Structure 1
Amino acid sequence: MKDLQEILKITREVGWGAAKLLRFYYQGTAPDPYLNVQYKQNEPVTVADVALSQYILSKLQEAFGNEEFGYISEETYKTQHRKNSADLVWIIDPLDGTRDFIDKTGEYAIHIALVQDTRPILAVVAIPEAEKLYYATKGGGTFVETVNGSLPLKVTADKSMEDLTVVVSPSHRNERLEYLLQNLPCQKQKAIGSVGCKVTAIVEQQADIYISLSGKSAPKDWDIAAPELILTEAGGKFTYFDGKPLEYNTDDINQWGGLLASSSQEHETLCQKAKQILVEFEAK
């Protein structure tokens, strides 16, 4: 494998190029109308989703080839149960937050993660409208890059549980999640669109907790892999409610169950409380 820092340098360049292209679509200056919306499994897919997927895949494959590296992208992954056999696998979400992109909230992101043995070792999350690119490598810390250069990021974990802010989605809400949120000891909430924007808000200390509950559907590998490493390398945690680590490029691309991301020293306690609250909900 090439040196991880060399891979990161190229991936950051790809991330910035993708962010620039995506802003063209967002601002309506790209040649194709991004609002040519189709629906896949009840989720919107735009021309921009497909164009960005092609752009990122072509740039990564040009740089790294197909022998040592595998590729999983939201827009090209056709089956729900297929593990890529390569040792190193790129997991890509070219447009995380398509609804926010369509609704012009600005809260959309680009996720690029490199996974080895089911765990991320490199991640880039670009937030085009903020003109920021977050990056991390396993054991190397988390950084945010702007036109002015890069700065290291580290979360703080000294708030009391009651003072923690939960970042929530403006959509994708259901009765189980509402019950859980209403019964947690932390009642402050901040609504943000894409997962990438939610997790980077935690890293930037604008929020403290993100919770995902699967229902009829679940987050996919490409929703979580890059944001997870960005958070954990900044000192946060991202686990299932039972404390188990997330795994990627397994036989199922869905991340079923309860997931909790936080910057809090109370992470394990929050996970236990979330499990207890859901047991109460099921017993109602």
Structure 2
Amino acid sequence: MKELQSILELIRPIGWGASDILRSYYRGNKQDDLNIEYKDDNGKDPVTAADLAVSNYILQQLKNELGSEEFGYISEETYQKQDGKNNSEWVWIIDPLDGTKDFINKTGEYAIHIALVRNKRPELALVVIPEAEKIYYAIKGSGTFVETRNGERKSMRVSECKNPQDLTLVVSRSHRNKQLDYLLEKLPCQNQKSVGSVGGKIAAIIEQQADVYISLSGKSAPKDWDIAAPELILTEAGGKYTHFDGTPLEYNTGDISQWGGLLASNGQCHEMLCQQAERILEEFAVNKE
């Protein structure tokens, strides 16, 4: 298999190409051709022609460059055609459009995630933020970098803010429920910044515009493709991303849903915030009864 650095050099242009496709839908001549449909009956999980076009593009480009003998592929838009866990040692996990609602609603806060996973853990990742014209990328053990459209690259590190009251939470506009609202109200960090996609939220932490992101599963849960790439770019920039009980996230396990409470942070107060989150949720459950 090619070395990870060589693979990264191959896929960064794929990231830019995927970004160009999304922006062509987002900004002009294809905006009326989104063909919005919904994966469920409640109208909460939209998929567009842009999702499908980018998924097809990324999968085709990766397979052209790397083939299918050594690599498996899991994409949000093709997963329903697959049967559980992919048995390849190396598996690509792809979200062609993270933040479809933000894409449709024109907030600009959408992203593309591409991660390469081995033994249930990410080894290489790209998170593309098309409207910022930035690609964040990381290889396990080698740090996180950002590349701009003009080719400039620089290393990224999370903030070193240690005071819980000074930490900024990055929150969702749409994925909210009473349990999550209760938790956010009780945490010591009350500064909040709203950002759409998970990739955008983690990019905000890497850019030191925020420090903490929390997600809770309810009737549904974040999926592997929502988190695999953002996790690696965060941890390689010095942050942490775990379950509330401190256990690491795992991918390609046969269940693509990441159930429970997940906390991403700059790492400075991570364990304390996880413990507080568990305690607050227990309190919520008692009050609900």
TM-score, normalization by structure 2: 0.96
Contact 2:72 2:91 in 1 (8 A): yes
Q: Which residue of 1 aligns with 2:129?
A: 127
Contact 1:81 1:252 in 2 (8 A): no
Contact 1:80 1:252 in 2 (8 A): no
Aligned partner of residue 256 in structure 1, secondary structure: coil
Q: Which residue of 1 aligns with 2:73?
A: 71
Contact 2:162 2:269 in 1 (8 A): no
Q: CA deviation at 1:157?
A: 2.2
- Indicate whether 1:210 and 2:213 are aligned: yes
Structure 1 pair 34–246 and aligned structure 2 pair: CA distance change class (3 A): farther
- Matches of 1:132 and 1:259, distance apart in 2: 25
- Indicate whether 1:224 and 2:224 are aligned: no
Q: Give the gaps of 5 or more residues in structure 1.
A: none
Structure 1 pair 80–63 and aligned structure 2 pair: CA distance change class (3 A): closer
Q: Which residue of 1 aligns with 2:9?
A: 9
Q: CA deviation at 1:264?
A: 3.5
- Matches of 1:111 and 1:194, distance apart in 2: 10
Q: Which residue of 2 aligns with 1:37?
A: 36
Q: CA deviation at 1:79?
A: 6.2
Greater displacement, 33-42 / 141-150 = 33-42
C-alpha distance after superposition, 1:7-62 (max 9, x if no partner): 001111110110011100101224x7443100003400000000000000000000
C-alpha distance after superposition, 1:174-201 (max 9, x if no partner): 0000000000011110010000000000
Aligned partner of residue 60 in structure 2, secondary structure: helix
Aligned partner of residue 78 in structure 1, secondary structure: helix
Contact 1:220 1:253 in 2 (8 A): yes
Q: Give the gaps of 5 or more residues in structure 2.
A: none
- Matches of 1:33 and 1:250, distance apart in 2: 38
- Matches of 1:52 and 1:33, distance apart in 2: 17
Q: Which residue of 1 aligns with 2:113?
A: 111
**Alignment RMSD, CA only?**
1.2
Correspondence 1:203-282 to 2 at 5 A: 203-282=206-285
Structure 1 pair 78–240 and aligned structure 2 pair: CA distance change class (3 A): same
Aligned partner of residue 79 in structure 2, secondary structure: coil
Q: Which residue of 2 aligns with 1:99?
A: 101
Q: Which runs of 4+ in 1 moved over 6 A?
A: none
C-alpha distance after superposition, 1:194-252 (max 9, x if no partner): 00000000000000000000000000000000000000000000000000000000010
Q: Which residue of 2 aligns with 1:18?
A: 18
State the one-letter code of the partner of 1:177.
L
- Indicate whether 1:201 and 2:200 are aligned: no
Aligned partner of residue 165 in structure 2, secondary structure: helix
Aligned partner of residue 250 in structure 2, secondary structure: coil
Contact 1:81 1:253 in 2 (8 A): no
Q: Given the alignment, which residue of 181, 185, 188 partners 1:185?
A: 188
State the one-letter code of the partner of 1:104.
K
C-alpha distance after superposition, 1:124-162 (max 9, x if no partner): 000000000000000010000001410000112233000
Pairs aligned (count): 283
Structure 1 pair 238–129 and aligned structure 2 pair: CA distance change class (3 A): same
Contact 2:238 2:267 in 1 (8 A): no
Q: Which residue of 2 aligns with 1:156?
A: 159
